[in-house]
Structure 1
């Protein structure tokens, strides 16, 4: 196969994500020979996409991979690609995997649970027998919407009753050892669980699909950001999809853009023994989350796309006394709708127009009369809930400048007002907008004020916010992509952010 055919397609979205250390970033660090390429003497773990720009293994000696280790499956030939079927996955239940293998070969599924696990970052919990692989039918394309809902089920993974809820990754490897891909999925708490965890982690699966360009093949793939014109030219938002399907693999290695943000928090939180339950943004939309069972809801990563049921559920949580923790930036920016998939399963299509013209009855049209699907255009700026809102992208990382360091959140960090935390404002940033109303509060404080130059060279700033609602609930918004990576990402950790986050969660667990 020629180099041109074998390379990973480099869309604007994905190229940015893998070259920006606060975008995709490394996933859980597995100290294991289970790697699929070697660069010199260093093995590259299964979660690093070495054929994408900017992805290089961290320095240090790594075990050499076995001879003939797998390469990353691409979206052109789709050597092995798959996705998890619809449904809430709980211990004692099952998840169906739909996988295509080209050319048809047997394959195996190794399942990992993301966590601290003694510094490994994940632990293998299951390995399947060899499974007969088949080349599934081509994806169905209607307009810009790509769906693989018609693929046959390849394997059913029975979730043992003793499996812990959490974030999992199914690693697909062809039996000949040539090709590999991944499927992320979330195991929720048992419905009848007597113990309610103090913290509920909400995995941003809706935002993950908004960025998914599968198939990233220069021909058919489309996300809410990009599409192809059929000749390999990448088109922008004006011609992107307005509806994308959950019934398809993720582009490239099969792992979502920005997935590292959530995994950074999980590894750190489980290392220090925080009591976590798990859910997805889709669960929140579907009304499957009961905030009253938890002291706080934690949104660990980039969580840009929110439906009205999601926002109302979180507003009710805050007003009922459950605290909210947002550890990224550009949260709750686009207003979306989730509708049933082609086979009737609920919540399998994500609908959102950017600034395209659509009929008013389209599920992607947004609020009646709005110029776009922005929550701001619907008359509900995100600051009404978060206490601040999206300001823009950050061309290169700059220091986060600490403010109000006598506050309990900064206790034990050694920081004084004006002290910099290098590189902690990165990717995208939020700030307080004085002309936008604040949520009702009994206390409010800004804990960082960090100047930077935007892509146009104008001076602006980032802020970190904390307020207390009349119900007693706290709402924290980090205001930067770099907060979660500072917790447990190799090369980006910051002990002061780790301590501040511990102060925050400890306070919420004690006060909740």
Structure 2
């Protein structure tokens, strides 16, 4: 397949489709229902007014990594009100463009609200990405726009929508954070997002921790992938990370019901910018597979200090990673995971005698090729209270993507009480029967630690076509108890 033929969903993202059964094409947060097509047959992003989703030539089009019609990244991690976010954007052919800023949330049923729009900006063709040993970086791109975040902006998850005059569109996600106390701290998994980022998906130079390209434009596997990836580059395809929708599903639901939430990225955890004592609970809403030593240390300290932990996905904290500065010295811009290659210690937490189960209560068991029911266990437990779920009930499609379970030969964390709340059979890729489990335990500090053990939990909160009222109520039971509202 030649480079000109490469399209996003035919390359790296297709290889990961098994781990995100809810990905609706290159924008996993588009609604897939026929109710969200406009009268020209164009799919309308749910965050935008239909009028904004059409350009003068009949509709916006998604930029790609071959032609790079418009692509960009920001040169910081999460930023606080009063700080600046610098955008680095390439536009080909050179033309004017604008940046619309949206905040993810619940706005009268809309999944986001437009907060501001940039002036009309002049776009240039930035230099090609630099590559060294499969590491792709655009740290040499010129700054295109500086967004000064006003002091009155709400903290939260934001998306910058880049649109050229001729109607091509791309996205850049970012987080606005502060240090104020809150009931819950939502931790967005930007480290895992970057691990999966194959930018540029051009059949030539792009690489992630999973894939790279050979000289014929064919996708290579993990043994030939990058060891180090850079945050100084756009996300592939439409500019949104794989699995980003899982975090947005939780945010829309939680803000709808008025939970008191603060926001941070996993790099904030890594860098010591999170004080767990400020929160009753830390919530990890999406696929969060890559953890550094400081991240784990901070979260264990949180639990041991009485701060509860909520893990709403599966395959959490599987690989150990390190972060290092960019060539210009900006901290935490390079992500390294040797996986099973080269000298040095293994990169799996469980292979260095620090299995995930010692924090989560369960740990990664394998992929789930097709969605299967989550089978309720211990239905008398408070998590299932008022959900209508009975012992042995099957919650359709709730075991999907990847699954965790309890490993009897692996040590458990110290606990005052512990219980498994689901035991769900599914076949693996070879047809062998496996099972998924959902876990909750109470640490000696009083902290509650919940692990859903499936990718499908967050989408069941607020994704059209996947909502399950029983999961919504169970999650409310959990968060209300953590926030001491019960």
TM-score by length of 1: 0.89
Give the Å deviation of 1:42: 3.9
8 Å CA contact 1:247–1:348 kept in 2: the answer is: yes
Corresponding residue for 1:10?
A: 10
- Distance, in Å, in 2 between the alignment partners of 1:395 and 1:506 is 33
Which of 278, 299, 319 matches 1:293? 278
Q: 1:343 to 1:14 in 2, by over 3 A?
A: farther
How big is the shift at 1:160? 1.1
Q: 1:241-290 deviations in whole A, cap 9, x for unaligned? A: 00000000000000000000000000000000000000000000000000
Deviation at 1:418, TM superposition (A): 0.2
Of the three residues 79, 96, 112, the one matched with 1:89 is 79
Matches within 5 A, 1:213-362: 213-358=198-343, 360=344
Unaligned runs of 5+ in 1: 49-60, 361-369
CA 341–375 in structure 1, closer or farther in 2 if over 3 Å, else same:
same
Q: Which residue of 1 aligns with 2:130?
A: 140
Q: Offset of 1:239 from its aligned partner?
A: 0.7
8 Å Cα contact 1:42/1:63 also seen in 2: no
Shift in Å, 1:176: 2.5
Task: Report what 1:114 is aligned to.
Answer: 104
Q: Is the 8 A contact 2:6 2:202 kept in 1?
A: no
> Do the aligned partners of residues 22 and 8 (structure 1) sit closer, same or farther apart at CA in structure 2, a change above 3 Å counting?
closer
Pair 1:181 & 2:143 matched:
no
Please say if 1:27 is aligned against 2:29: yes
1:241–1:40: structure 2 CA closer, same or farther, 3 Å change rule?
A: same
Query: Is 1:29–1:122's contact at 8 Å kept on the other side of the alignment?
Result: no
Kept in 1: contact 2:159–2:172 (CA 8 A): yes
Distance 2:195 2:350 in 1: 19
Indicate the residue corresponding to 1:412 in structure 2.
386
Q: Report deviation, 1:302.
A: 0.2
Instruction: Give the secondary structure class of the aligned counterpart of 2:205.
Output: coil
Kindly provide the CA deviation profile for residues 300-323 of structure 1, in whole angstroms up to 9, marking residues without a partner as x: 000000000000000000000000
Q: How many residues end up aligned between the 2 structures?
A: 479
Tell me the distance in 1 between the aligned counterparts of 2:41 and 2:158. 26
Question: How many Å separate the matches in 1 of 2:451 and 2:78?
Answer: 28
Structure 1 partner of 2:149? 159
1:23-64 C-alpha deviation (Å, 9 max, x unpaired): 567427699x9x9xx68754312479xxxxxxxxxxxx9999
Give the Å deviation of 1:197: 0.8
- Residues 111-147 of structure 1 show CA distances to partners (whole Å, capped at 9, x for unaligned) of 0000011111000000111101100011000010000
Contact kept, 8 Å, 2:175 with 2:265, in 1: the verdict is yes
Q: How far 1:67 sits from its partner (Å)? A: 4.3
* Runs of 5+ unmatched residues, structure 2: none
Change (3 A) 1:62 1:422: farther
Q: Kindly indicate whether the alpha-carbon contact (under 8 Å) linking 1:23 and 1:427 is maintained by their aligned counterparts in 2.
A: no
Counterparts of 1:509 and 1:488 in 2: how far apart (Å)? 21
Report the equivalent of 1:428.
402
* Higher mean displacement: 15-24 or 216-225: 15-24
**Are 1:380 and 2:372 counterparts?**
no
Residue 43 of structure 2 corresponds to which residue in structure 1? 44
SS in 1 for 2:157: strand
Q: 2:429 aligns with which of 455, 470, 486?
A: 455
2: CA distance between counterparts of 1:121 and 1:238? 39
Q: Give the alignment partner of residue 76 of structure 1, picking from 66, 70, 77.
A: 66
C-alpha contact 2:19 2:401 (8 A) present in aligned 1: no
Structure 1 residue 416, shift from structure 2 partner: 1.0
CA distance in 1, matches of 2:287, 2:71: 24
